[in-house]
Amino acid sequence: MLKSEFWGDETEAVNLALDWAIAHTVSGSDPKTSFKSSEELKKEVGVSITSDGLGAKEAMRLYSEVLNPATRSADDPMALAFIPGAPTRAAVAFDAVVSAANVHGGMWEMGAGAVFAENQVLGWIKSLLGWTEEAGGTFVSGGTLGNLSALSAAKHTIKEKWRQMGRFQNGRPITGYKLACASTAHSSVRTIATVLDVDIVTIPVDAGGHLTGEMLEKALVENPTIFAVVATSGTTNTGIVDDIDSIVTVAHKYDIWVHIDGAYGGAALAAPSVRHFFKGIEKADSFIVDPHKWLFAPYDCCAVLYRDQKHAIHTFSQHAEYLDAFGNEEVNPSDLAIHLSRRTRGLPLWYSLAIHGTKKYEQAIEKSIENSRKCAEYIRKSSHLELLLDPELSVVVFARKGWTPEQYDEWSNKLAKAGELLCLPSKLNGRTILRLAFINPHTDVDKVIHILETTMK
């Protein structure tokens, strides 16, 4: 296989790539790596796409010595900025298997066995949601695509439903669909509104940062063309879970769709100590969670699920002469989101979950919640720091009393460059703050506390 008449001998290319992959599967990424400007990279890389090719040695050298070091580690235990990742080594290794198997995961016909395994993972998530047989879903590249798929299904479904109900606006078909969410909703929701050509209605949150049914109802009375509401179960900036129960009750009274964006925090459905925050989720219409965030899978992976998958099938099924020839009874992953050809990207999670079991996953998620509580407790008691919110899941937001934005930047850059801690400034109600997102069970919280104690006083 490695020597072909056409491509020649690829043995060296394959060995160099796999050796690197094996070494990094074992070691994880280097916390000292950091990004560079395209100008800097242009100088170091030069031209890599040439008419005759560089050959394996030079191409791999460029990657391992120049390109990869100019990236930021997302899975180091001390990377606590953005929402980091913390894939198990088993999941990382299995991603190489997914590539090697090269299964077309869009259609059951092509990917049956692989899709079956992905569906068992989705079955676990369904059971955490309290959803039944009618539910279904698939894996897409990320939360942005997951949210887009769910909200596309929402718009299509509600439009049909209102039409059947004979719901009109001033005697004419409804136009000007609107999407409701809190200001704390993820930035992707605004982009999706642009793509779907709908207006956003921003709903104020309560003092604790939650979107509630009460505030939603006010918006619904004022805006009769709202077709869906996005509630976030674990906001990216502060880890707050919206009041799902009251939101679902109000939304369904007005015949609109409830989408739960759990890209980061949805994983905490598996954590008994915080499960109460998700009350009412069994009645929501769609849900996403990113396994590449808090479910210990590598990039890129988002599970999008629908409480009744037929709404998604009605929205996304693609028909073409060459696709319809198969005619089996199974649901195709391509019927459940905006994609056709797809990598079976749910499999790294399947492998790791099958190996370790769901109890281990519960414990890993609880570990980060415990870490965030311990860190918050330290901050609450310290004299130089101010805890800004009680963490609900695993994001801790705090301020250093008296610091200017420049002081935050300087502190943060210094620790990032040294590879000691990745903690970047953010904003809360216009104020510069710091946030720590705990999702890695290997994070040593005492080490984090020690850094806050010794470098911020």
Ligand X SMILES: *Cc1c(COP(=O)(O)O)cnc(C)c1O
Nearer to ligand X, 212 or 225 (CB): 212
What is the number of the residue whose Cβ is closest to ligand X? 143
Question: Which stretches of the chain bind ligand X, using CB under 6 A?
Answer: 83, 142-144, 147, 186, 188, 232, 236, 261, 263-264, 290, 302
What is the rounded CA–CA span in Å between residue 121 and residue 43?
45
Measured from the CB of residue 414, what is the shortest distance to ligand X in angstroms?
26
Q: Least Å distance between CB 212 and ligand X?
A: 18
Residue where the block lists tokens 């969410």 = 181
Nearer Cβ to ligand X (148/198)? 148
Environment class of 332 (CB within 10 Å of its CB; exposed 0-12, middle 13-18, buried 19+): buried
Nearer to ligand X, 264 or 350 (CB): 264
Distance CA 184, CA 212 (A): 12
Q: Return the number of the residue (147 or 352) whose C-beta is nearest ligand X.
A: 147
CB of 264 to ligand X, least distance (A): 4
- For 159, the token pair is 């439009």
CB of 322 to ligand X, least distance (A): 31
The nearer residue to ligand X, 186 or 342, going by C-beta atoms, is 186
Give 79's strand partners. 422
- Length of the chain, in residues: 457
Q: Establish whether the linkage from the previous residue to 300 is cis, with ω within 30° of 0.
A: yes
CA 283/CA 375 separation, integer angstroms = 34
Rounded Cα gap, residues 11 and 226, in angstroms: 58
Q: How far apart, in whole angstroms, are the C-alpha atoms of residue 78 and residue 10?
A: 38
Closer CB to ligand X, 60 or 365, in the complex? 365
CB of 32 to ligand X, least distance (A): 24
Q: Which residue, 226 or 263, is less far from ligand X as judged by CB? A: 263
Closest separation between CB of residue 96 and ligand X, Å?
21
What is the 8-class DSSP label of residue 283? Answer: G
Six-digit token string for 135: 């539910």
Nearer to ligand X, 236 or 332 (CB): 236
Q: Where are the beta strands (DSSP E) in 332-443?
A: 385-387, 395-400, 425-428, 431-437
DSSP states along 5-51? TTTEE-HHHHHHHHHHHHHHHHH---TT-----HHHHHHHH-----S
Geometric angle at alpha carbon 408, from 394 and 391, rounded to 5°: 15
- Minimum gap (Å) between residue 290 Cβ and ligand X: 5
Please say which residue, 151 or 331, places its beta carbon nearer to ligand X: 151
* In the complex, minimum distance from the CB of residue 76 to ligand X, in angstroms, rounded to a whole number: 18
Q: What is the dihedral of CA 150, 151, 152, 155, to 10 degrees?
A: 130
Minimum gap (Å) between residue 213 Cβ and ligand X: 20
Say if residues 2 and 14 touch (Cβ distance below 8 Å). yes
| CB distance 78 to 443 below 8 Å | yes
